[in-house]
Structure 1
Amino acid sequence: MSAAGAVTTGRPGRAERPAAGRERLRAWAAVAVVCAALFLIGLDFTVLNVAIPGLRADLGTSLAQTQWIVDGYALTLGGCVLAAGTLGDTYGRRRAFVAGLAVCALASVAGATGDGAGQLIAARCGMGVGAALFMPATLSTVVHVLPGAADRRRAISLWAAVAGVGALAGPVVGGRLVLLYEWRAAFWLNVPVAVLVAAAALLLVPESRNPAPERLDRPGAVLSCAGLLTLVWGIIEAPGRGWTDGAVLAAFAASAVLLGGFAARQLCSAAPMLPPALLRRGPVGLATLSLALMSFAMFGAMFVLTLYLQQVRGLDAWAAGVRTIPFSVGLAVGAGAAPPLARRCGARVPVTAGLLLITSGFAVLAGLRPGAGEAPVLLFQALAGFGSGLVAPVATEVVMSAVPAANAGVGSALNDATRQVGSTLGVAVLGSVLAEVSTGELPPGSAAALVLSGGGPDLAGAGPDLAEAVRQAETAFVHGMTAAAWTGGAVALLAAVFAWRRMPRRQRPAAAPVTPAPARGLVPGPER
């Protein structure tokens, strides 16, 4: 049979099969491109953490300035991602993706050449804005190029694994860069990667957008950005200032008012940024809550564990980063196991099992004692990493399956925003519990308290009492870490209970084009 005959008879012939294979290959090439950008996002969250000592020594920044150099990225990314997802749906996701990479590259150059705290803070905030532009486009592009349910599940599992591994790889990559070069290398790293990924996107990633875009809800965009920025600012500042500090309480109150105004705007707007119908679609609300609580536990635990490895075990940045590799391996393995488990048992089983594994990991960490070896740390990472890998892709698939393809950027941004707020809150809360308990056990100004805070000139005269001070500081830190672990475990266990009661028993297929009322802003139908 000729190739033409194969087409005209309606039966799949040899000409059609290679064409379909090439289209599928191009689709997976596009997935690889957006996942490379996603890895860069995760890397930038943590790559600078281990470079702080060299940065402070070079520029003479204060502790508060250093905190904002690190946290400015998370602040702007978490605050702007929801509005950025709508921009991608409206004006083109590839366009937003490439523009975001360009902004990130330019901001990284500004950071690498910066000679003051103000320039570095502005650079990190600029990097966050760039990441907010292209992060929603990563997941929405996956949904666009892979319409088949099986391929989409595999790609979302890959997306979830890359998102976690990128952040966990930050200390490893950052530690190596600092060891070989200096802190500026953490900024320069972004430039060639962003340029190469943007060029690959122009070649391999197809453009997609909402086929019937509404006018951008500018008041909604302003309210969402202001509300999320204020909320994330309060979360970041609370550990240092205190949770009852006036500025922190004012930030939380302002964020409640702004986000309440955003919710009211979405209910009455003819073209809402976050359609209320989306949150009412099945278990979307619970799936986003599971992602937020999983991020709370994972990032909070890794923050505490990194401090333990460096302050108690005395490891340098590179050695501490290498010790966190088992977490990344466990997460990748869990993400690979999640889709078949979800197909067989539904979303409820892998999400609940993952959260219970995270709870078990925290129980192991809570049992850590001073002088413990490697085994408890490795076991915690294996359990928590594998559990996080089970939760992330399945909960993400639940969210994206409820979103019409035309609004994929909104669904992706909702997924990203909840994970970002959860991770920031996890670092803040577990870090505060650790600090409160550990410092509360030691007399202020004592040698042990100085050891716990990183030492100082007063330790030079400690003499033979220094060994005892180190022992007391280690004991206090481990007690604080135990309290933080029980807190994280309680959060994970509560999430597991909710997931078992409310998550679907069977994985639902991708959303059919259910037509909601136009006033709710969900636009189903094919994309262009």
Structure 2
Amino acid sequence: MKTDATRRWLALGALAFAMLTIGLDVTVLTVALPTLAVDLHANTAALQWFSGAYTLALAALMLPAGALGDRYGRKKFLLAALLVFGAASLACAFAGTAGQLIAGRVALGVAAAVMMPLSMSVLPALFPEPADRQRALTIWVTASALGMPLGPIVGGWLLRNFWWGSVFLINVPMVIIGALAVFALVPESRSANQRRIDVPGVLLSAVGMLGLTYGFIRIGDLGWGNVPAWTTVLAGALLLGAFVLWQRRTAHPLIDLGLFETAGFRWGTALSIVINFAMFGMFFTVPQYFQAVLGVDTLGSGLRLLPLIGGLIVGSRLVSKALPKLGTRVVLTNGFALLAVALGLGAMTSVDSGYGFTALWTTLLGAGMGLAMPTAMGLAMGELTAERSGSGSALIQALRQAGGTIGVAVLGTVLSTQYRSDLGSLNRDPISDGVNAGVAAARQLGDSAVLHQVQSAFVGGMAAMLWVCAIMCALSAVVAAVVIRSKRPAEVAAVRPEVVGGAVRPADQSESTYVG
């Protein structure tokens, strides 16, 4: 179904609104955890599950969700997921026990696992022209990224003025607006080639991603020497290996492994994972720096992320103008170089640096994200046909999510190891548990020297972690300069050969149908 220009861009606005809701939900919970611990009598394990339940459901179900959307209708599943997300948000807002909240978070993760890939997968149906598709993808990616720094701001303000359930209740009107807009404006699309659902593939991918993600979450909590966590990681990796072997043998695979044979998908996805790795690391540490070193509350911490948002908006505006003129290689190389510079500056932060220095490098970081994220995603998305856009989008998102989860575990370990090393004689409980516990203990003692050492140790750990991210982004800039073919969105071939039933046909004659 063809839609006029106004209808298409309004539909994109609805999809971006839905992604903003998911981005908010990822980080808004973090500011509410102390309140939840008191009101719901939640212990440390329950607090970890409030976040972990969402992440695990998201990781386990993203790949099956993309394939189901391809077969039965992407709009249909997207609408159902929006409604489930709204209902789950209500359940979380009025949860009376920790168990009820965990169950609600699982439902939120299930809905998000459908919303993320399918809201992305309908873009080829809405925007068949490559240049328009890249512009639309930039808006979609920016909306998703904006929700994360907005979460602490919105959550901090809500907690200051309302009860903790409001951080979930805010999702409901946003979801209703998004669902109505998707219903009215987004065309239905599905694959006309009605492949059977790969049930063994669904089970292997779901359990494998579940094991890998849970294992790295536990490693992040318990350290790299935890044997049960590594056993879980190994089991997940083995199941994912079995999944890949099965996908090569089955007649109706859940994902198209042939996508990795195309340089655009392979490198676009890999570079997207690096960005997620660095982004999750920044969100893991900078809010702690604001609160433990600068001494601000949760709302103040969120507000201090506004320069990041400003940089992200500027970068995303620049990328729309730069890509048609400079091409993918130049934009990606410069985007990653800017990320490396920003993270390197962040690694030079000291206890006495002050907020102005942090505002500078987070602004540059946002601009780098705005340049690199949509460009890398567009490079990968450019290799997807409308026929398998749901499963292809799910594969990109699942790998990005796994990269972010592993990134938090790896970077968290780098930070905590350096923090404990820099504590010196203070490396004992409860100070060694983390900077928040250390600052609380120092203030209870009323010892400014201990407080300064704890803060300095944390800044040292943050520096080590940011240097790791900076080096990864610098290497990615080199990779982009060397291996990426410099193509502009308008020059992307409209016809990409695709193998169907042993014969080659052009991608613009896709069997995907659009209904509505």
**Same-fold call, TM cutoff 0.5:** yes
Show structure 2 runs of 5+ residues with no match. none
Aligned to 1:527: 513
Among candidates 480, 485, 492, match of residue 466 of structure 2: 485
Aligned to 1:118: 99
1:227 maps to a residue whose letter is: G
1:359 maps to a residue whose letter is: A
Deviates more, 1:498-507 or 1:477-486: 498-507
2:286 maps to a residue whose letter is: L
1:173 maps to a residue whose letter is: V
The alpha-carbon distance between structure 1 residues 458 and 371, as it changes in their structure 2 partners (threshold 3 A), is closer
Aligned to 2:501: 518
1:127 maps to a residue whose letter is: L
2:201·2:253 contact (CA, 8 Å) conserved in 1? yes
Shift of 1:34: 0.9
1:390 maps to a residue whose letter is: L
The alpha-carbon distance between structure 1 residues 91 and 478, as it changes in their structure 2 partners (threshold 3 A), is same
Deviates more, 1:191-200 or 1:381-390: 191-200
The alpha-carbon distance between structure 1 residues 327 and 456, as it changes in their structure 2 partners (threshold 3 A), is closer
Measure, in 1, the Cα distance between the counterparts of 2:415 and 2:204.
Answer: 34
Q: Secondary structure at the match of 1:371?
A: coil
Shift of 1:94: 0.7
Q: TM-score with structure 2 length normalisation?
A: 0.93
Measure, in 1, the Cα distance between the counterparts of 2:398 and 2:449.
Answer: 45
Shift of 1:511: 4.8
Shift of 1:450: 7.9
1:404-444 deviation per Cα after TM superposition (whole angstroms, max 9, x unaligned):
11111122112211221222222222222111211233233
Aligned to 2:223: 242
Matches within 5 A, 1:95-494: 95-442=76-423, 443-445=426-428, 449=432, 452-454=435-437, 462-463=445-446, 466-494=447-475
Measure, in 1, the Cα distance between the counterparts of 2:53 and 2:339.
Answer: 29
Among candidates 38, 49, 54, match of residue 19 of structure 2: 38
1:218 maps to a residue whose letter is: V
Measure, in 1, the Cα distance between the counterparts of 2:177 and 2:503.
Answer: 39
Measure, in 2, the Cα distance between the counterparts of 1:237 and 1:175.
Answer: 27
1:482-515 deviation per Cα after TM superposition (whole angstroms, max 9, x unaligned):
1111111122122222222211211351552523
The alpha-carbon distance between structure 1 residues 461 and 418, as it changes in their structure 2 partners (threshold 3 A), is closer
Q: Secondary structure at the match of 1:516?
A: strand
Measure, in 2, the Cα distance between the counterparts of 1:188 and 1:513.
Answer: 45
1:527 maps to a residue whose letter is: T
Shift of 1:149: 2.0
The alpha-carbon distance between structure 1 residues 29 and 426, as it changes in their structure 2 partners (threshold 3 A), is same
Aligned to 1:14: none
Measure, in 1, the Cα distance between the counterparts of 2:67 and 2:102.
Answer: 26
1:396 maps to a residue whose letter is: M
Measure, in 2, the Cα distance between the counterparts of 1:163 and 1:114.
Answer: 27
The alpha-carbon distance between structure 1 residues 85 and 34, as it changes in their structure 2 partners (threshold 3 A), is same
1:217·1:272 contact (CA, 8 Å) conserved in 2? yes
2:82 maps to a residue whose letter is: L
Measure, in 2, the Cα distance between the counterparts of 1:131 and 1:426.
Answer: 20
The alpha-carbon distance between structure 1 residues 460 and 157, as it changes in their structure 2 partners (threshold 3 A), is closer
Shift of 1:460: 7.4
Measure, in 2, the Cα distance between the counterparts of 1:186 and 1:254.
Answer: 36
Shift of 1:140: 1.3
1:114-169 deviation per Cα after TM superposition (whole angstroms, max 9, x unaligned):
12222111111110100111211111112111112222121111011111111121
Q: Secondary structure at the match of 1:289?
A: helix
Aligned to 1:12: none
Aligned to 2:35: 54
The alpha-carbon distance between structure 1 residues 109 and 123, as it changes in their structure 2 partners (threshold 3 A), is same
Aligned to 2:55: 74
Shift of 1:452: 3.0
Q: TM-score with structure 1 length normalisation?
A: 0.91
The alpha-carbon distance between structure 1 residues 520 and 338, as it changes in their structure 2 partners (threshold 3 A), is farther
Measure, in 2, the Cα distance between the counterparts of 1:313 and 1:369.
Answer: 11
CA RMSD of aligned residues (A): 2.2
1:298·1:384 contact (CA, 8 Å) conserved in 2? no
Q: Secondary structure at the match of 1:87?
A: helix
1:272·1:521 contact (CA, 8 Å) conserved in 2? no
The alpha-carbon distance between structure 1 residues 447 and 279, as it changes in their structure 2 partners (threshold 3 A), is closer
Structure 1 stretches of 4+ with a deviation exceeding 6 A read 519-523
1:291-350 deviation per Cα after TM superposition (whole angstroms, max 9, x unaligned):
000010012112210110011111101010010111122112212212332222221111
Aligned length: 507
Shift of 1:104: 1.2
Aligned to 1:8: none
Asked which structure has the greater CA Rg, the reply is 1
Query: Quick one: percent identity of the two aligned structures?
Result: 35
